[in-house]
Amino acid sequence: MGRFLARRLVLTIPVLLGVATLVFSLIHLIPGDPAQAMLGEAAPQSDVEELRRQLGLDRPLVQQYAAFLAGLVKGDLGTSLRTGLPVTEQIVERMPATFELAAAAMLVAILFSMPLGIAAAVRRGTVVDHAAMTVSLAGVSVPNFWLGPLLAIVFAVELGWLPVSGRGTWAHLVLPAVSLGAALAAILARMTRATMLEELREPYVQAARARGVSRSRAVMRHAFRNSLIPVVTLVGLQFGAVLTGAVITETIFAWPGIGRLLIQSIGFRDYPLVQGCILLIALTYVAVNLITDMLYGVLDPRIRYE
């Protein structure tokens, strides 16, 4: 077990380094002079020179890269061009909002998808099954940047039940969480159905029924519990999609998280802040994938012996 975890951890190091390198090189992909691009064409040459020095762009590439990595290790991601505040500070401030939204969206997804998937599997081939799967395929196809405004039109504007935007109370969380969680719910429902169908076919379920266990107990206590392992993994692997979706959802609902910060800083050409946001989202994604992988190894001993 220890060896499995250690190996998985070591394998993450080159990926982390690759992510950092890619984020570092972003600023160098800017066509022309990055400092000029950030300040605009009309900026005086002296300002451009000053910014170039401040960003370290006047130094050799290797030195810039070394400084970037060294800063990263210390949690120093540079200074925002617009506010002059440390990038790390601004991101840390926005993190709780994004994690709150992501967690709520995943909760919504789980609450909707599990009953749908189980019902479809148990009533396989019936109208219930077809309806559940059509709804879930539609859920994957509906973009959250359409669902969000539609929900806002109905529940905030027409009915007046929920606030249109902002963060604060539980009510503020409902529309963003539902619009962000819908696609995940759709994917999870399909996965739950597929794994439930596999488990329901297993001899242990039939043995339980033969011993006189009721149908609902056989489904829920036996089949459903075992079908959870791949579903839990999928929840972890889909976390990246939820984080990216949050960029859009936060923009729609004016939710003060990292996604909105990212889009705002792109608008202001505040590249250090753009780099910081992207790095943080990617690192979170890598970390969640790592945890999911490890959990899977713990839950299912067969994985370790690969």
Rounded distance, CA 5 to CA 93, Å?
32
- Least Cα distance to 232 among 175, 303, 139, 141 occurs for 303
Interaction pattern, residues 89-128, with another protein; x per rule: CB under 8 A: ----------------------------------------
> Looking at 105-113, 173-181, 228-236, 273-281, which segment touches another protein (CB under 8 A)?
273-281
> Looking at 78-86, 106-114, 217-225, 279-287, which segment touches another protein (CB under 8 A)?
279-287
Tell me if 152 contacts another protein by CB under 8 A. yes
Q: Which of 119, 188, 223, 274 binds another protein (CB under 8 A)?
A: 274
Q: Which of 102, 233, 262, 297 binds another protein (CB under 8 A)?
A: 262
Tell me if 244 contacts another protein by CB under 8 A. yes
Q: Which is nearer to another protein, 153 or 291 (CB)?
A: 153
Tell me if 291 contacts another protein by CB under 8 A. no
Rounded distance, CA 222 to CA 66, Å?
54
How many residues are given for the chain?
306
Residue 211 beta carbon to another protein: minimum distance, rounded to whole angstroms: 27
Residue 121 beta carbon to another protein: minimum distance, rounded to whole angstroms: 10
Q: Which of 281, 292, 293, 297 binds another protein (CB under 8 A)?
A: 281
Tell me if 231 contacts another protein by CB under 8 A. no
Q: Which of 150, 171, 207, 220 binds another protein (CB under 8 A)?
A: 150
Phi and psi at residue 274, to the nearest 5°: -60, -50
Contact (CB, 8 A) for 152 and 140: no
Q: Which is nearer to another protein, 2 or 31 (CB)?
A: 31
β-partners of residue 79 are: 86
Encode burial over 17-54: b for 16+ CB neighbours within 10 A, e otherwise.
Answer: eebbeebbeebeeeeeebbbbbbeeeeeeeebeebbee
Q: Which is nearer to another protein, 130 or 217 (CB)?
A: 130
Reported as type and span, the H/E element at residue 124 is none
Q: Which of 39, 243, 255, 292 binds another protein (CB under 8 A)?
A: 243
CA–CA distance from 261 to each of 93, 143, 148, 239, 252 (Å)? 11, 21, 19, 19, 13
The angle subtended at Cα 87 by Cα 260 and Cα 36, nearest 5°, is: 90
Reported as type and span, the H/E element at residue 292 is helix 271-299
Contact (CB, 8 A) for 176 and 249: yes
Q: Which of 236, 282, 293, 297 binds another protein (CB under 8 A)?
A: 282
Positions touching another protein (CB under 8 A) are 14-15, 18-19, 21-23, 26-27, 29-31, 134, 137-138, 140-143, 145-146, 149-150, 152-153, 157, 193-194, 197-198, 240-241, 243-244, 247-248, 251-252, 262-263, 266-267, 271, 274, 278, 281-282, 285-286, 289
